[in-house]
Structure 1
Amino acid sequence: MTLGFTDSRFCGDFSCVFSLDFDHAAMLTHSANFGGTHVVMDIEQFLLSGSPLPAADVVIGGPPCQGFSLLNKDRSGDPRRALWEPFLEVVFRSGASVFVMENVAELLRSPEMAEINSRAEQNGFLLHAAVLNAADYGAPQVRKRTVSIGAKADLFPFGIPLPDPTHSGRWRTVREAIGDLPEPVGTGIRDEPPPLDLHFGRNPTAMSLERYRAVPPGGNRFDLQNNAPHLLPECWRKKTSGGTDLFGRLWWDRPSVTIRTEFFKPEKGRYLHPEDHRPITHREAA
Structure 2
Amino acid sequence: MSQVSDRLSMIDLFAGCGGMTVGFRSEGFNPIMSVEWDLAAAATYAANFGESHTRWGDITLIRDDEIPQAEVVIGGPPCQGFSNLGSKSVDDPRNKLWKQYLRFVVEARPQVFVIENVERFSRANEFQLLLDEADHGVIKDYELTPGVLLAADYGVAQRRPRTIVIGSRIGKIPLPDPTHAKVPTGDLKPWEDVRSRIGRLDPHPSTTELPDSMTEYFGQRIRGEFKGVDIHFGRQPTPMSLERYDHVPPGGGRFNLPDHLLSRCWREKKTGTTDVMGRMRWDAPSLTIRTEFFKPEKGQYLHPQWEPDRPDRRVNRVITHYEASLLQDFPRDYLWCGSKTEIAKQIGNAVPSGLAAAIARQLKKYLN
Under a length normalisation based on structure 2, what TM-score does the superposition of the two structures give?
0.67
Count of aligned pairs: 266
Distance in 2 between residues matched to 1:246 and 1:81, nearest whole Å:
34
Distance in 1 between residues matched to 2:128 and 2:267, nearest whole Å:
42
Task: Say if 2:25 is the partner of 1:6.
Answer: yes
Distance in 2 between residues matched to 1:96 and 1:37, nearest whole Å:
18
State the match for 2:43 in structure 1: 28
State the match for 1:161 in structure 2: 174
Is the CA contact 1:120–1:127 (under 8 Å) kept in the aligned structure 2? yes
Distance 1:279 1:76, change over 3 A: farther
State the match for 2:165 in structure 1: 148
Q: What is the letter of the counterpart of residue 30 of structure 2? A: S
Distance in 1 between residues matched to 2:67 and 2:248, nearest whole Å:
52
Task: Say if 2:133 is the partner of 1:119.
Answer: yes
Task: Say if 2:191 is the partner of 1:177.
Answer: no
Distance 1:254 1:273, change over 3 A: same
Is the CA contact 1:67–1:76 (under 8 Å) kept in the aligned structure 2? no
Task: Say if 2:229 is the partner of 1:208.
Answer: no
2:283 paired residue among 232, 245, 253: 253
> What 5-or-longer segments of structure 1 have no aligned partner?
69-74
Is the CA contact 1:84–1:116 (under 8 Å) kept in the aligned structure 2? no
Q: Deviations over 1:102-157 (max 9, x none)?
A: 001111122222221231344311111110000000000001111111111xxx23
Is the CA contact 1:107–1:146 (under 8 Å) kept in the aligned structure 2? yes
Distance in 2 between residues matched to 1:5 and 1:189, nearest whole Å:
29
State the match for 1:84 in structure 2: 98
Q: What is the letter of the counterpart of residue 145 of structure 1? A: R
Which runs of at least 4 in structure 1 moved beyond 6 Å after TM superposition? 79-82
Distance 1:110 1:66, change over 3 A: closer
Q: Deviations over 1:76-114 (max 9, x none)?
A: 66x977743321221112222211110011111222222
Q: Deviations over 1:41-99 (max 9, x none)?
A: 233x325x66722222211101124679xxxxxx966x977743321221112222211
Distance in 2 between residues matched to 1:83 and 1:146, nearest whole Å:
18
Identity of aligned residues (%): 51
SS of 2:249's equivalent in the other structure is coil
Distance in 2 between residues matched to 1:185 and 1:32, nearest whole Å:
26
Q: Deviations over 1:1-51 (max 9, x none)?
A: 1111112xxxx22221111122110001111111242222233x325x667
Task: Say if 2:296 is the partner of 1:282.
Answer: no
Is the CA contact 2:81–2:97 (under 8 Å) kept in the aligned structure 1? no
Distance 1:260 1:81, change over 3 A: farther
SS of 1:200's equivalent in the other structure is coil
SS of 1:271's equivalent in the other structure is strand
State the match for 1:72 in structure 2: none
1:180 Cα deviation after fit: 1.6
Distance in 1 between residues matched to 2:194 and 2:234, nearest whole Å:
18
Distance 1:81 1:206, change over 3 A: farther
SS of 2:149's equivalent in the other structure is strand
Task: Say if 2:227 is the partner of 1:197.
Answer: no
Distance in 1 between residues matched to 2:98 and 2:109, nearest whole Å:
17
Q: Which has the higher contact order (CA 8 A, sep 6+)?
A: 2
